[in-house]
Amino acid sequence: MTMTQPEDATQPEVRKGLAGVVADVTAISKVDPETNSLLYRGYPVQDLAATQPFEAVAWLLWHDDLPTAAELADLRATERAHRALADDVRAAIDLLPTSAHPMDEVRTAVSVIGAREVAGLTALDAAAGPEETVARSVRLFAALPAVVAYGQRRRRGLELVEPRDDLDFSANFLWMTFGTEPEPVVADAFNRSMILYAEHSFNASTFTARVITSTLADVHSAVVGAVAALKGPLHGGANEAVMDTLAEIGSADRVAAWLDDALAAKRKIMGFGHRVYKHGDSRVPTMKAALDTLVAHYDRPDLGDLYAALEAEFVERKGIYPNLDYPSGPAYHLMGFDTPTFTPLFVAARVTGWTAHVAEQQAANSLIRPLSEYVGPARREVPPAGHTG
């Protein structure tokens, strides 16, 4: 991170990457690097992951507290009613080549769903208010698993699998992707990953969503922008890159030599480091425990050893710790997801946090528009049109 200090008191301080800048208040989550903790509306994320279905955590993010039994039943009924892949969304995905990145499929799908949701409304009316935003967000949250599952299946040349009303969000997601009912241990690990990925204050994609919302654009426009921001490997795209790295290294005994070369080439090691956490990511212990369960379940100690060896070697050499994408990548791999599907899984979870922030921004909006320090040429005369240099 770079900070340009002013040469004199009259020059503004430029905070590259907005590092350390507090841009607004939020009541949705608290990321605390000092205590290495993460709270969703006051509740420790590891406790939510251990006890709650993902739908309850989604409700928590959209509202002030965990749902009552009746509220959860209502949310589940709405979510189940909007699970099926809509014809227009399927048609739009099918227009894309199967070589398209799944994040581009997801971005396209959100755009199609959003255009339908606000058809006939002026741009001003489309934004609506926090209550309507949450209602639209529940439908989008419900629709995304089918988009992600269909994407992976069509790349594999497989038919769409229709949703099952008797399964909860996580089990149904796995059902639609693989066409088999998941074993409880797998559904549980997946549910935990969704909760851990759901929300993380003013990260790049959430901030993108808030910037878009601040112009009075509608929630689907904000989510399209957030998906685009999440695709980058410095953010959500890192979970895919982690798996590529582990595949490239191959086995634990090759870690040291691989790292020698990677660091000599000044490569970034994906899944390590964080803008806010400098002593370890609060979510990693919970996700690592889920990964350990999967390693045992699928009998893949080789992957567990490789994971541990890279972590130990990199931490020893650089003092930089894993972030959530490091355990999530191999966990999703073991569950059977193709590597390019990993970041869309992150979308399916984070859409809850993004949309909670959209509603919060709408409730107390101010156009987000920072300043810049101009460093280009001083004022000069425009040359004649078609000048030759």
Ligand X SMILES: O=C([O-])CC(=O)C(=O)O
When asked if residue 275 is in the footprint of ligand X (CB under 6 A), the reply is: yes
- Which residues inside 301-340 make contact with ligand ACO, applying CB under 6 A? 320, 323-325
Residue 363 CA, distance from chain mean position: 23
Helix/strand/coil percent split, the chain, to 5: 60, 5, 35
Residues annotated as part of the active site: 235, 274, 325
- Kindly tell me which of 3 and 363 has the beta carbon lying closer to ligand ACO: 3
- Kindly tell me which of 38 and 269 has the beta carbon lying closer to ligand ACO: 269
Q: Is 353 exposed, middle or buried (0-12, 13-18, 19+ CB in 10 A)?
A: buried
Considering the complex, what minimum distance in angstroms separates the CB of residue 283 from ligand X? Answer: 8
- Alpha-carbon distance 263 to 234, whole Å? 17
Stretch that binds ligand X, among 7-15, 171-179, 269-277, 309-317 (CB under 6 A): 269-277
Among 76, 83, 200, 333, binds ligand X (CB under 6 A): 200
Considering the complex, what minimum distance in angstroms separates the CB of residue 72 from ligand ACO? Answer: 27
When asked if residue 347 is in the footprint of ligand ACO (CB under 6 A), the reply is: no
Q: What is the x/- site pattern for ligand ACO, positions 243-272, by CB under 6 A?
A: -------------------------xxxxx
Considering the complex, what minimum distance in angstroms separates the CB of residue 226 from ligand ACO? Answer: 12
Stretch that binds ligand X, among 13-21, 247-255, 274-282, 357-365 (CB under 6 A): 274-282
Question: Please, are residues 281 and 322 in contact by the beta-carbon 8 Å criterion?
Answer: yes
- Kindly tell me which of 202 and 307 has the beta carbon lying closer to ligand X: 202
Picking from 314, 229, 226, the residue whose alpha carbon sits closest to that of residue 273 is 314
Considering the complex, what minimum distance in angstroms separates the CB of residue 276 from ligand X? Answer: 6
Among 203, 239, 282, 286, binds ligand X (CB under 6 A): 203
Spell out the residues 6+ positions from residue 18 whose beta carbon is closer than 8 angstroms to its own: 370
Q: Which residues pair with 3 in a beta bridge?
A: 15
Stretch that binds ligand X, among 84-92, 271-279, 307-315, 370-378 (CB under 6 A): 271-279
Residue sitting closest to ligand ACO (CB): 273
Stretch that binds ligand X, among 37-45, 150-158, 247-255, 272-280 (CB under 6 A): 272-280
Q: Concatenated DSSP letters for 257-301?
A: HHHHHHHHTT---TTB--SS-SS--TTHHHHHHHHHHHHHHTT-H
- Kindly tell me which of 191 and 203 has the beta carbon lying closer to ligand X: 203
Beta strands in 12-119 (DSSP E): 14-15, 29-32, 37-40, 43-44
Please choose which of ligand X, ligand ACO, none residue 117 contacts, taking the beta carbon within 5 to 8 angstroms, the exact cut-off set by kind.
Answer: none
Q: Helices marked H in 298-341 — which ranges? A: 301-318, 325-335
Picking from 226, 179, 260, 191, the residue whose alpha carbon sits closest to that of residue 350 is 226
Q: Which residues bind ligand ACO (CB under 6 A)?
A: 1, 17, 234-236, 238, 268-275, 320, 323-325
